[in-house]
Structure 1
Amino acid sequence: MGDVGSVVPPVAGWQRARRIARLAAIGTGATAAAAAATGGVLLGQARQARRTIPMAEAPPPRCDGVYGAKFPGRPITMVVLGDSSAAGYGVHRRRETPGALLATGLTRRLHRPVRVHRFAVVGSLSAGLKPQVESALECEPDVAVILIGGNDVTNRTPPGLAVRYLVEAVRALRAAGCEVVVGTCPDLGAIQPIQPPLRWLARRWSRQLAAAQTVAVVEAGGWTVSLGDLLGPRFAAEPTRMFAWDRFHPSAEGYAMAVAALLPTVISALGAGPERRPVPAAVGGVRSLPEAAQEAARHAGTEVSGTQVRGRDRGPAGRWAQLRRRAFFGVGEQPQSGPATDSPTLEGTA
């Protein structure tokens, strides 16, 4: 028989159980109350951010046309797809839009004319890429540049669903022989009107989506460039210069920095750069694709593309991926009006 003092009478045991249950209920209630309070704070911050960030008014300038018409040869056809960041919302001049900046950079580096078609739509989600791709394929593009993801984060689209729509777009373009460069989801935690703790969640959600986009796009045969906070220390240091009037979209200088990160990858995707696909790479710059995606999401301006190691596309952890931090070509920190040959010739007037 055991010690009498160690035996808990039935009534005492029931009272202890009731006390534990009561304490657990109090703890659960406190946790629920804290969660509700946090949810209320986030909801309030989201409403405040919506009030602070004005709705889109006038559409961004069109950038469609032929750039570098003085150069010989068949024009390179580039299509620009995605959301407001691809359309260039926030600037007022054609030459300041991402499409115009990319085309101007390509003509200067490749000495070829470039024909641009912009199908990006302000406010588009990844689900809106399908009609854009259908229109783009009618142009028989050589390269497509896609900037997408920010609206999926703000609308809380499940990352898996957003990525699925993006992959469908990339596969359709690749099946038509078009190279694809995707600027992954920007870091919405860098947006000033979004305050903590919502800012912290926005940063986490943005990076999660960017990493998932990287894995899926490279697997589908595309290239990615992590835009992160759009090459951010300068955005944080000079928000009045790097953000547009709405404090949400980039300014002309902000777009120029983003394009400076994208341009080298677009050149390589076209087969005109020093690297061509597939690239047997030195192991030092290679990671498994999931590792490369996570690293790129943390370091804006990083290019990720498929590569080979010892003649193989895949290793024990999956597909091999090449990470590159490129030296920027300097598209121009402040877009300037270039010579007449860098200005687009509008379709129908050329």
Structure 2
Amino acid sequence: MPTIRILISGAGIAGLSLAHWLHRYGFEVTVVEKADGIRGGGQAVDFKGPVHRGVLTRMGILDAVRRAHVDTADAALVNSAGRRIGTLPGAFAAGEINIRRGELVRILHHLTAHTCEYLFGDEITSLNQTRDGVDVTFARAAPRTFDIVVGADGIHSSVRALAFGPESTYVQHLGYHYALATLDVGDDDVMYNEPARMAALGGSKAPAFFVFASDESARDGEPAQKAQLIDAYAGSRWRVPELMAEIPNATEFHMDTISRVSMNRYVHGRVVLVGDSAYGNALGGYGTGLALVGAYVLAGELYRARGDHETAFSRYE
């Protein structure tokens, strides 16, 4: 098989899984990631069923993932006075194997850290498809040409926007936001709900986890997003005022809309999407498994087709 040069945008679960399989099958792989390195932290993600276990086994990481398993405890539901009024079973949001996202990314990156090229702190700025390849420009690196470009860069994929069109065409905001924050709040698993807003502490998602209703888009930049969260919880009861007072100093913070990606095609010429960029299912408990399996199938079809992207992409879809 001739050397096929493949660029993957995004060093998350989908991108790192795909990099592993493509290198294993003899492709030349470059991964570009706008963060300065592999991003740690994040909520617990899960695997369930024989398909997930089968792919993890074939990757050779099932035992490592199992060793990193974190238990998902039952959460106490409390009222505004802090009195327990119910229980949310840990199994409700868990799979057979639960692992912190950051730990999973570390395991996946270890597979290709020394065999694939990584461009950290950079991102794709343009794609120009020709008969023979894709001419790519970057924010920092010199322009290059690849045979195939893969968008594995999440629900707000820049590759999807460049190749398929604006995000608004494919991403539906479902009316809620979620936020994850690292706060010193104790270890008890507890959840408090009011109409249109929820606060949970000590669970597997993050030390502090919030969901609130809003039709507004997530603001740009962490300080603005922290202010947006604080505004959304104004007047809330229980321990929420105390938590909001700590948000400006949260050491790790992530906020986004709860949205769904809906696409009829995952392919545009030599550009293909995988994971949340193509079939995102935010907070539904399936995104990690879909990313893992999607990467496995895409790489397998490219190998099976000996790099013929048209045949492989048709089978992948």
For normalisation by structure 1, the TM-score amounts to 0.29
**Structure with the higher helix share, 1 or 2:** 1
**Structure with the higher strand share, 1 or 2:** 2
For normalisation by structure 2, the TM-score amounts to 0.31
Bigger relative contact order, structure 1 or 2 (CA pairs below 8 A, ≥6 apart): 2
Bigger Rg, structure 1 or 2: 1
